[in-house]
Chains A and B, each alone.
Chain A
Amino acid sequence: MPQNEYIELHRKQSREAHERSKKVKKMIGLKAELYHKQRHAEKIQMKAIKMHEKRNTKQKDDEKTPQGAVPAYLLDREGQSRAKVLSNMSKQKQKEKVGKWEVPLPKVHAQGETEVLKAWKRMVTKVCFVGDGFTRKPPKYERFIRPMGLHFKRVHVTHPELKAAFCLPILGVKKNPSSPRCTTLGVITKGTVTEVNVSEMGLVTQEVLLV
């Protein structure tokens, strides 16, 4: 509570609004115009300061209820561990598969086709998908060479909702926007639509996945 000199100060401050409005009511003409212009600018500034203050302090948001409603029986359990489980499962499957076909073979240095460059033979420099059971045509008849090092079987796919990435086997290249020739060759460049096997994720619904 204000006491002694502070009473005067407090009174002056609390009467400020009343005194101000008494003065303004009497103003007319140019004086009033100028005053109102100034006051308007002041008010804008005051508002800006208040908004900055509000931004710094955290208000309890009563209106918005959080997303992701779950029934009572799921509340005490982490729901989104599904993503972790799925990615673990597919990783394990991948590990099992890799071990199967490991046979000791002598590593031969492959002759780069660039060394044998002929005008009518062209080498693809991008990643491509060839599918199981692919065998190269006889070298004489090969027009486009797809280096084995650039053969990819799996592709990283992100699930938009779970926000997790899975590595899933490719089924085929549907469309390559560059050219129909690229589609037939199975070349994968930016913007290519590929078909992917989602059975490893165990989902039954259709969802759009992003590569």
Chain B
Amino acid sequence: MAALLVHAAGDVQRLLVQFQDEGGQLLGSPFDVPVDITPDKLQLVCNALLAQDEPLPLAFYVHDAEIVSSLGKTLESKEVETEKIIDIIYQPQAIFKVRAVTRCTSSLEGHSEAVISVAFSPTGKYLASGSGDTTVRFWDLSTETPHFTCNGHRHWVLSISWSPDGKKLASGCKNGQILLWDPSTGMQVGRTLAGHSKWITGLSWEPLHANPECRYVASSSKDGSVRIWDTTSGLCERILTGHTQSVTCLRWGGDGLLYSASQDRTIKVWRAHDGVLCRTLQGHGHWVNTMALSTDYALRTGAFEPAEATVNAQDLKGSLKELKERALSRYNLVRGQGPERLVSGSDDFTLFLWSPAEDKKPLTRMTGHQALINQVLFSPDSRIVASASFDKSVKLWDGRTGKYLASLRGHVAAVYQIAWSADSRLLVSGSSDSTLKVWDVKAQKLATDLPGHADEVYAVDWSPDGQRVASGGKDKLWG
């Protein structure tokens, strides 16, 4: 739409603007607004156009620059031709805001060895931690005391993963065994899943919207294979071989595809229900350490909606069908129009953005890090990708295009793990220098520093209800 400059004597310049959503869909018809309009007023207009019951908080972008003070100032800084159409892209922000974690509420002690994995249940009700002392511990978050200690593994518990309905926890150890636990009783469920010959590097459950019973779990191991297990029978359903070296990371996508990253520098895409290899994504120059899907958060939380979180986390309610529908709608919302996107980080200091369901060529290559990348994570709204690296920085990239956004510096040693808050505004990072730092993503600055660990921080997680961050390290566990 063309913008017409209407000069009236003494009047402020007015422009015609058109609102567009992120996918490019136009909203309403062109609007005549003064040049000095502020984001609040734009929000009123937009909400009116959207005809929502409750006003949504929105952020507005013109040519990739956010409108902070007024439209005029943003246009000046970008030197946009006012003769042309001005498209304002609106982005709905999360309605709820997560407050930054400011202090350590408690130190949860109990493990006699380093805590090497930490995970909140999908609703945020339970916290589980796996440790080098071979136990898995469940913690009661309302009293911040240990709930159950689960013995059964005979070696370090390397990887833990909650089923999307929060009813089961799978844990994998260095001997290659996988055990399933019930968080409400602390007892083992079913048989020990044995079959891998070397240690377990990753566990991933089938998404809730594909199967609300949460029956299948996939595991990746150093022995180079991926196994899909049926948790009700305790048997290995399928073995996916093809990687020539250790499989470092595993993700079960929402479209029935399984993604596995390996030290043999490739990522393989498998069809989950029959185990057929669809595609091999090549491009990395060294081990692929980590992967993240744009829909990761939605798959992890399943039918739980973080906006509806209450102070006391509850179990998911509803029949299987309801849960499935809710999970599916959440999944589709995060996914957006296109297929799932995958970002992979490697020892070759770069990240690749892929659209694995479509193409075996990467969308972009994201360079900039000066040391190997340990973890990548999409934000819950899948707009931003954060990468933690051994070069002591966390970098932010655009989730759609892979464009570099910012570097978050502050740590003095390798950054091991990161976790997003449920509203995508805050990011917490744990590092080998024993501190955790909470970053404000919008300002791209440090929000709070959380010292207190006496040694390296190995695992970090933010509860989906946004209330707590848990971190585990070489010394003890924290709430």
Binding site for B on A (CB under 8 A): 62, 65, 67-76, 202-205
Q: Which residue of A lies closest to B375 (CB)?
A: A73
Q: How far, in whole Å, are A205 and B455 apart by their CA atoms in the complex?
A: 7
A72 near B434: Cβ-Cβ < 8 Å = no
The distance from the CB of B359 to the nearest CB of chain A, in whole angstroms, is 28
Q: How many residues of B contact A (CB 8 A)?
A: 38
Given contacts A69-B156, A76-B246, contact A202 B413 (CB under 8 A): yes
Among all A-B residue pairs, the 3 with the closest Cβ atoms: A69-B132, A71-B116, A69-B156
Given A72-B117, A75-B174, list of 17 further CB < 8 A pairs? Answer: A65-B156, A68-B132, A70-B116, A70-B156, A71-B158, A72-B116, A72-B200, A72-B202, A73-B248, A73-B289, A75-B158, A75-B199, A75-B222, A202-B412, A204-B412, A204-B434, A204-B435
Pick the residue among A62, A67, A204, A205 that contacts B113 (CB under 8 A): A67
Using Cβ atoms and an 8 Å threshold, which residues of chain B touch A202? 412-413, 433
Q: How far, in whole Å, are A69 and B111 apart by their CA atoms in the complex?
A: 12
Q: How far, in whole Å, are A25 and B28 apart by their CA atoms in the complex?
A: 107
Q: Which of A62, A72, A73, A203 has the most CB of B within 10 A?
A: A72
A69 near B434: Cβ-Cβ < 8 Å = no
Q: How far, in whole Å, are A205 and B431 apart by their CA atoms in the complex?
A: 13
* B382 on the A face (CB < 8 A): no
Q: Which residue of B lies closest to A202 (CB)?
A: B412
Q: How far, in whole Å, are A69 and B173 apart by their CA atoms in the complex?
A: 11
* B114 on the A face (CB < 8 A): yes
Q: How far, in whole Å, are A75 and B155 apart by their CA atoms in the complex?
A: 13
A65 near B132: Cβ-Cβ < 8 Å = yes
6 interchain pairs (CB within 8 A)? A65-B133, A65-B134, A69-B116, A70-B458, A71-B158, A202-B413
Q: How far, in whole Å, are A74 and B390 apart by their CA atoms in the complex?
A: 11
Give the secondary structure class of A's interface. Answer: loop
The distance from the CB of A14 to the nearest CB of chain B, in whole angstroms, is 38
B116 near A65: Cβ-Cβ < 8 Å = no
Q: Per-residue 0/1 for B7-46: is the Cβ within 8 Å of any A Cβ (1 yes, 0 no)? A: 0000000000000000000000000000000000000000
* B177 on the A face (CB < 8 A): no
Q: How far, in whole Å, are A72 and B416 apart by their CA atoms in the complex?
A: 11
Given contacts A69-B116, A70-B116, A71-B116, contact A76 B263 (CB under 8 A): yes
* B154 on the A face (CB < 8 A): yes
Using Cβ atoms and an 8 Å threshold, which residues of chain B touch A75? 158, 174, 199, 222
* B301 on the A face (CB < 8 A): no
Using Cβ atoms and an 8 Å threshold, which residues of chain A touch B454? 205
Using Cβ atoms and an 8 Å threshold, which residues of chain A touch B117? 71-72
Binding site for A on B (CB under 8 A): 113-114, 116-117, 131-134, 154-156, 158-159, 174, 199-202, 222, 246, 248, 263, 287, 289-290, 374-375, 412-413, 416, 433-435, 451, 454-455, 458-459
Q: How far, in whole Å, are A181 and B134 apart by their CA atoms in the complex?
A: 55
The distance from the CB of A178 to the nearest CB of chain B, in whole angstroms, is 34
The distance from the CB of A9 to the nearest CB of chain B, in whole angstroms, is 44
Using Cβ atoms and an 8 Å threshold, which residues of chain B touch A71? 116-117, 158, 416, 458-459
Pick the residue among A67, A72, A203 that contacts B159 (CB under 8 A): A72
The distance from the CB of B288 to the nearest CB of chain A, in whole angstroms, is 12
Given contacts A73-B289, A76-B263, contact A205 B434 (CB under 8 A): yes
The distance from the CB of A72 to the nearest CB of chain B, in whole angstroms, is 4
Using Cβ atoms and an 8 Å threshold, which residues of chain A touch B455? 205
Pick the residue among A67, A72, A205 that contacts B158 (CB under 8 A): A72
Q: How far, in whole Å, are A203 and B248 apart by their CA atoms in the complex?
A: 29
Q: How far, in whole Å, are A67 and B114 apart by their CA atoms in the complex?
A: 9
Pick the residue among B114, B222, B433 that contacts A69 (CB under 8 A): B114
Q: How far, in whole Å, are A70 and B158 apart by their CA atoms in the complex?
A: 8
Q: How far, in whole Å, are A91 and B434 apart by their CA atoms in the complex?
A: 25
Using Cβ atoms and an 8 Å threshold, which residues of chain B touch A72? 116-117, 158-159, 199-202, 248
Q: How far, in whole Å, are A202 and B414 apart by their CA atoms in the complex?
A: 12
Q: Which residue of B lies closest to A77 (CB)?
A: B372
Q: How far, in whole Å, are A75 and B201 apart by their CA atoms in the complex?
A: 10
Q: How far, in whole Å, are A71 and B289 apart by their CA atoms in the complex?
A: 13
Q: Which residue of B lies closest to A203 (CB)?
A: B433
Q: How far, in whole Å, are A75 and B200 apart by their CA atoms in the complex?
A: 11
Q: How far, in whole Å, are A68 and B133 apart by their CA atoms in the complex?
A: 10
Given contacts A65-B156, A204-B434, A205-B455, contact A73 B131 (CB under 8 A): no
Q: How far, in whole Å, are A67 and B155 apart by their CA atoms in the complex?
A: 10
Q: How far, in whole Å, are A75 and B114 apart by their CA atoms in the complex?
A: 14
Using Cβ atoms and an 8 Å threshold, which residues of chain B touch A67? 113, 132
Using Cβ atoms and an 8 Å threshold, which residues of chain A touch B202? 72
Q: How far, in whole Å, are A67 and B131 apart by their CA atoms in the complex?
A: 11
B435 near A69: Cβ-Cβ < 8 Å = no
B412 near A62: Cβ-Cβ < 8 Å = no
A73 near B435: Cβ-Cβ < 8 Å = no
Q: How far, in whole Å, are A203 and B114 apart by their CA atoms in the complex?
A: 19
A73 near B132: Cβ-Cβ < 8 Å = no
A69 near B113: Cβ-Cβ < 8 Å = yes
Q: Which residue of A lies closest to B153 (CB)?
A: A65
Using Cβ atoms and an 8 Å threshold, which residues of chain B touch A69? 113-114, 116, 131-133, 156
Q: How far, in whole Å, are A74 and B134 apart by their CA atoms in the complex?
A: 17
The distance from the CB of A76 to the nearest CB of chain B, in whole angstroms, is 7
Given contacts A73-B416, A204-B412, contact A65 B374 (CB under 8 A): no
Using Cβ atoms and an 8 Å threshold, which residues of chain B touch A65? 132-134, 154-156
A70 near B433: Cβ-Cβ < 8 Å = no
Using Cβ atoms and an 8 Å threshold, which residues of chain A touch B451? 204
Q: How far, in whole Å, are A204 and B200 apart by their CA atoms in the complex?
A: 32
Q: How far, in whole Å, are A73 and B458 apart by their CA atoms in the complex?
A: 10
Q: How far, in whole Å, are A150 and B199 apart by their CA atoms in the complex?
A: 55
Q: How far, in whole Å, are A150 and B473 apart by their CA atoms in the complex?
A: 44
Q: Which residue of A lies closest to B134 (CB)?
A: A65
A204 near B156: Cβ-Cβ < 8 Å = no
Q: Which residue of B lies closest to A161 (CB)?
A: B455
Using Cβ atoms and an 8 Å threshold, which residues of chain A touch B200? 72
The distance from the CB of A203 to the nearest CB of chain B, in whole angstroms, is 8
Using Cβ atoms and an 8 Å threshold, which residues of chain A touch B375? 73
B154 near A62: Cβ-Cβ < 8 Å = yes
Q: Which of B116, B117, B246, B433 has the most CB of A within 10 A?
A: B116
Using Cβ atoms and an 8 Å threshold, which residues of chain A touch B248? 72-73
